[in-house]
Chains A and B, each alone.
Chain A
């Protein structure tokens, strides 16, 4: 090592010095010490004075590289079309790669900013419902104490919390709806909240609250919030005890803007304190921090039956098995089927990663194809250069620098494109990704990758072309080997196979979304507005509200329900009927409604009748959906008796299924009952002749009349329903964009190749035309070569894509079938695109006057 960097004239005496010291030291101390000292001394010889000066003639080298650079630019200028195709293809490919990279980086960064993210988990349970295993994210609240008391040595913290929900938060005269959670005091420690003000332990006092920085800004502007008084849902008064930094977007908790003490919720809300059986309702989230040297699977096994042991015989039928879902899997691995984790968003991460790699590969293939195609022309140049004395190594360097220059130019263009298209991408992907201009390592990687791509793509001309002798090249008739023509064909086939597969995939995604959208949802969403009651005032005055708005012809009707039609929040297992298997554990959704609910939302009665205000016994009646009726197995459901907590209740009607959860999943068995206190949501059916905004204004005025201090929170039901497709539609759109770019790149490739082939065959075409070939015949002859390649690609892609797509749709219970039509459609599309692309040059070549092309001979 010493001699590698040391100035030659110093080598002898320095080497001698070090050796002398080494052996002297050896005599007195251990070998190791002597060796360490030797290395230490060598290391400290790395000083400017001692280092060998590298190049003796720097100017000459610079001139060489300058020359390489100039010839590269000159070669590009001479062949503008090819250079443009190369740079366009590569830069589009790299843009796609950059954007996909940013997207993946964002997806992978979820929850990672919590200090202990790899030691935190959430307690979930697998329960057996209606004969199959469901995974529930919520647990009963006494479980927290149970885990602390009996299994405490496994955890550093056990924190019970509610899910993030909206609450009306008041300070002085500001009443706004804010989302936040109620949690046990350890929450700050477990998630290591970073505090701007105050202490994160403050929740030990049940009259305190922690608020996020942005919430503090809204309520207190720039004044110090600590010690100020706020009110949650008008009943809970709290002191601000601390302000934490907003939780970043890449987290489950990013919309948690306040954290109030669990104890406060427990004290204030009667329903938790007065639960008949606190182990029954699964309504809370439970987070744990693992103790040192415990791992998730072992602790999961330990606590598996912690809930079961406390259940009544009836509830035990559900066989709840607890396990811990680690925080670093929350975002990407959150799909459970039959009690087992089956991936989740990670599928999309892989999918897009593969797309990104393929798109870059396709762009590289273009690059290689065009350079091999052009090699015959370049061969002459090589011959001349060799004849005037070029070394092979110089030619290799020249070709490599040419391709590296192209790649670097493409990279700069790609950065520009990525920067310009990021806002649009962020909009589609619902992300906030930015190019990390400041991240040096990333840049080094990117530039390193560029050089690798450049070297790979330039390897053929550099290594093969430079090897031919001047005589070979200048004699003329140098032909690229058969092998290169074959490899060109194979690359075209690969490109189009990928393109066709992507077209098929995207088409299937959109088909699946459309399929779910076309699903009958059981009621009318148009013109339906769900307004959150926020207090009992609206419920008390519902008739007055109805009269006033009906008289103003703003609404047709207003109904009340416990949950908005687009969700169902409540389910029960305490349902029995005659003939039910006593060991079967069921889970029925239930919605408490007002009598005119069905009429207002427009559900369809399949059998029996709707609720009727005037029939008193309807307060003890059910309307069930068809799934429930079928599940219970009644021949004529109307008139049958069902027991809910052992109360006999008569079924008076059956309705067509209403899709209230995921439109991709089957509808759950559901029953509706008249709830005199149903007041969570008011559903307004706006008159069809009223403009929506005007009607909304009128509704808000009436709402404010009874709730002057409450925020008016509303949602159009059709918008809320459309949002259920958000994730799928986003992925579909992204896949669509990437697919079109992939097609673009492959078309660029054959566009370049066809130009090259048309040029190469100019003379042949001329002779054919002299012999009487028509333009059409010539066009067909040249195009056939490409069409054959594309057909081969289609033959490979169609079955592969068909299988993959068929497998993908089974993720969704409610799914479309992949019909033969889609692959055929994809193949036809790509064929037509190919023909159009290729024709540009072939038609031109075919139309050329043979006099022109043959004159030179």
Chain B
């Protein structure tokens, strides 16, 4: 059985991978994640998530070019699939619909302190 729901962390990783386009390999995604969120995370953790996303069919991966600093080893570039894009959009739509209901809620609970 393949899990089709998108987790919180997975969503962010997927978005970061989308931003990086051609440079979306585990290390770069990790660094970009840190830059965007300020949270420290291990490459292994990111890679593990990417692996899961690939199993769910949201990304696909292929080995890309090699550089000298990598000791001649190739990168594994992750690209978002159509399914991945749809899931991302669904997630965003879902949030938007929540946000649209939000002011009502906020008014009732009196969130504003001013």
Residues of A within 8 A of B (CB): 10, 12-21, 23-24, 40-41, 43-50
> A17 — which chain B residues lie within 8 A by C-beta?
25-27, 43, 47, 70, 75
Q: Choose, from B3-11, B61-69, B80-88, B89-97, the stretch at the interface.
A: B61-69
> B44 — which chain A residues lie within 8 A by C-beta?
41, 43-47, 50
Nearest A residue to B55 via CB reads A49
> B26 — which chain A residues lie within 8 A by C-beta?
13-14, 17
Nearest A residue to B63 via CB reads A13
Q: Is the CB of A12 within 8 A of B63?
A: yes
Q: When chains A and B are docked, how far (Å) is the Cα of A45 from the Cα of B46?
A: 10
Q: Is B56 an interface residue (CB 8 A)?
A: no
Q: Is the CB of B73 within 8 A of A13?
A: yes
Q: When chains A and B are docked, how far (Å) is the Cα of A462 from the Cα of B29?
A: 54
Q: When chains A and B are docked, how far (Å) is the Cα of A49 from the Cα of B76?
A: 16
Task: Please name 10 pairs of A and B residues whose Cβ atoms are closer than 8 Å in the assembled complex, sorted by A.
Answer: A13-B74, A13-B75, A15-B71, A17-B70, A18-B27, A18-B43, A19-B73, A44-B43, A48-B48, A50-B48
Q: Is the CB of A44 within 8 A of B45?
A: yes
Nearest A residue to B42 via CB reads A44
Q: When chains A and B are docked, how far (Å) is the Cα of A21 from the Cα of B45?
A: 15
Min CB–CB distance A153 → chain B (angstroms): 51
Min CB–CB distance B75 → chain A (angstroms): 6
Q: Is B52 an interface residue (CB 8 A)?
A: yes
Q: Is the CB of B52 within 8 A of A21?
A: no
Q: Is the CB of A20 within 8 A of B47?
A: no
> A19 — which chain B residues lie within 8 A by C-beta?
69-71, 73
> B76 — which chain A residues lie within 8 A by C-beta?
10, 12-13
> B32 — which chain A residues lie within 8 A by C-beta?
none
Q: Is the CB of B75 within 8 A of A16?
A: yes
> A49 — which chain B residues lie within 8 A by C-beta?
47-48, 51-52
> B45 — which chain A residues lie within 8 A by C-beta?
44, 47
> B67 — which chain A residues lie within 8 A by C-beta?
20
Q: Is the CB of B70 within 8 A of A20?
A: yes
Q: Give the tally of cross-chain contacts (CB within 8 A).
A: 71
Min CB–CB distance A10 → chain B (angstroms): 8
> A45 — which chain B residues lie within 8 A by C-beta?
42-44, 47
> A18 — which chain B residues lie within 8 A by C-beta?
27, 43
Nearest A residue to B66 via CB reads A16
> A50 — which chain B residues lie within 8 A by C-beta?
44, 47-48, 51
Min CB–CB distance B102 → chain A (angstroms): 37
> B75 — which chain A residues lie within 8 A by C-beta?
13, 16-17
Min CB–CB distance B6 → chain A (angstroms): 17
Per a CB cutoff under 8 Å, which of A10, A15, A23 touches B69?
A23
Q: Is the CB of B69 within 8 A of A24?
A: yes
Q: When chains A and B are docked, how far (Å) is the Cα of A21 from the Cα of B44?
A: 13
Top 7 A-B pairs ranked by shortest CB distance?
A16-B73, A44-B42, A13-B76, A44-B44, A16-B70, A45-B44, A17-B27
> A48 — which chain B residues lie within 8 A by C-beta?
48
> B69 — which chain A residues lie within 8 A by C-beta?
19-20, 23-24
Nearest B residue to A47 via CB reads B48
Nearest B residue to A11 via CB reads B73
> B47 — which chain A residues lie within 8 A by C-beta?
10, 14, 17, 45, 49-50
> A12 — which chain B residues lie within 8 A by C-beta?
63, 73-74, 76
Residues of B within 8 A of A (CB): 25-27, 42-45, 47-48, 51-52, 63, 66-67, 69-71, 73-76
> B48 — which chain A residues lie within 8 A by C-beta?
47-50
Min CB–CB distance A33 → chain B (angstroms): 14
Min CB–CB distance B67 → chain A (angstroms): 7
Nearest B residue to A15 via CB reads B73
**Other than the known A14-B47, A50-B51, what 5 A-B pairs have Cβ atoms closer than 8 Å?**
A17-B25, A17-B27, A17-B75, A18-B27, A48-B48
> A10 — which chain B residues lie within 8 A by C-beta?
47, 76
Q: When chains A and B are docked, how far (Å) is the Cα of A483 from the Cα of B30?
A: 66
Nearest A residue to B43 via CB reads A41
> B42 — which chain A residues lie within 8 A by C-beta?
40-41, 44-45
Q: When chains A and B are docked, how far (Å) is the Cα of A269 from the Cα of B45?
A: 76
> B43 — which chain A residues lie within 8 A by C-beta?
14, 17-18, 21, 41, 44-45
Min CB–CB distance A490 → chain B (angstroms): 57
> A13 — which chain B residues lie within 8 A by C-beta?
25-26, 63, 73-76
Nearest B residue to A17 via CB reads B27
Min CB–CB distance A23 → chain B (angstroms): 5
> B66 — which chain A residues lie within 8 A by C-beta?
16
Min CB–CB distance A53 → chain B (angstroms): 14
Min CB–CB distance B94 → chain A (angstroms): 27
Min CB–CB distance A787 → chain B (angstroms): 71
Min CB–CB distance B79 → chain A (angstroms): 14
Q: When chains A and B are docked, how far (Å) is the Cα of A14 from the Cα of B66?
A: 12
> B74 — which chain A residues lie within 8 A by C-beta?
12-13, 16
Q: When chains A and B are docked, how far (Å) is the Cα of A12 from the Cα of B61?
A: 13
Q: When chains A and B are docked, how far (Å) is the Cα of A673 from the Cα of B52?
A: 97
Nearest B residue to A40 via CB reads B42
> B27 — which chain A residues lie within 8 A by C-beta?
17-18, 20-21
Nearest A residue to B29 via CB reads A17
Min CB–CB distance A40 → chain B (angstroms): 7
Min CB–CB distance A11 → chain B (angstroms): 9
Q: When chains A and B are docked, how far (Å) is the Cα of A392 from the Cα of B69?
A: 48
> B51 — which chain A residues lie within 8 A by C-beta?
49-50
Min CB–CB distance B26 → chain A (angstroms): 5
Nearest B residue to A12 via CB reads B73
> B70 — which chain A residues lie within 8 A by C-beta?
16-17, 19-20
Nearest B residue to A23 via CB reads B69
> A21 — which chain B residues lie within 8 A by C-beta?
27, 43
> B73 — which chain A residues lie within 8 A by C-beta?
12-13, 15-16, 19
Q: When chains A and B are docked, how far (Å) is the Cα of A121 from the Cα of B44?
A: 55
Min CB–CB distance A9 → chain B (angstroms): 9
Q: When chains A and B are docked, how far (Å) is the Cα of A45 from the Cα of B45?
A: 7
Q: When chains A and B are docked, how far (Å) is the Cα of A17 from the Cα of B76?
A: 9
Q: When chains A and B are docked, how far (Å) is the Cα of A755 from the Cα of B66?
A: 73
Q: When chains A and B are docked, how far (Å) is the Cα of A12 from the Cα of B73?
A: 6
Q: When chains A and B are docked, how far (Å) is the Cα of A47 from the Cα of B70?
A: 23
Min CB–CB distance A117 → chain B (angstroms): 45
Q: When chains A and B are docked, how far (Å) is the Cα of A341 from the Cα of B43?
A: 63
Min CB–CB distance A256 → chain B (angstroms): 57
Min CB–CB distance A27 → chain B (angstroms): 10
Q: When chains A and B are docked, how far (Å) is the Cα of A47 from the Cα of B44?
A: 8
Q: When chains A and B are docked, how far (Å) is the Cα of A203 from the Cα of B98?
A: 70
Q: When chains A and B are docked, how far (Å) is the Cα of A23 from the Cα of B69?
A: 7
Min CB–CB distance B76 → chain A (angstroms): 4
Q: When chains A and B are docked, how far (Å) is the Cα of A17 from the Cα of B44?
A: 10
Q: When chains A and B are docked, how far (Å) is the Cα of A24 from the Cα of B74?
A: 17
Nearest B residue to A22 via CB reads B69
Min CB–CB distance A581 → chain B (angstroms): 85
Min CB–CB distance B59 → chain A (angstroms): 14
Q: When chains A and B are docked, how far (Å) is the Cα of A48 from the Cα of B66?
A: 27
> B25 — which chain A residues lie within 8 A by C-beta?
13, 17
Min CB–CB distance B63 → chain A (angstroms): 6
Min CB–CB distance B72 → chain A (angstroms): 8
Nearest B residue to A46 via CB reads B44
Q: Which of B25, B27, B75 has its CB near the most chain A CB atoms (within 10 A)? A: B27
Q: When chains A and B are docked, how far (Å) is the Cα of A23 from the Cα of B51?
A: 25
Min CB–CB distance A613 → chain B (angstroms): 97
> A41 — which chain B residues lie within 8 A by C-beta?
42-44
Min CB–CB distance B64 → chain A (angstroms): 9
Min CB–CB distance B2 → chain A (angstroms): 15
Q: When chains A and B are docked, how far (Å) is the Cα of A43 from the Cα of B25?
A: 19
Nearest B residue to A27 via CB reads B69
Min CB–CB distance A844 → chain B (angstroms): 68
Q: When chains A and B are docked, how far (Å) is the Cα of A10 from the Cα of B47?
A: 10
Min CB–CB distance B49 → chain A (angstroms): 9
Min CB–CB distance A410 → chain B (angstroms): 45
Q: When chains A and B are docked, how far (Å) is the Cα of A18 from the Cα of B46?
A: 13
Nearest B residue to A13 via CB reads B76
Nearest B residue to A41 via CB reads B43
Min CB–CB distance B44 → chain A (angstroms): 4
Q: When chains A and B are docked, how far (Å) is the Cα of A21 from the Cα of B51?
A: 20
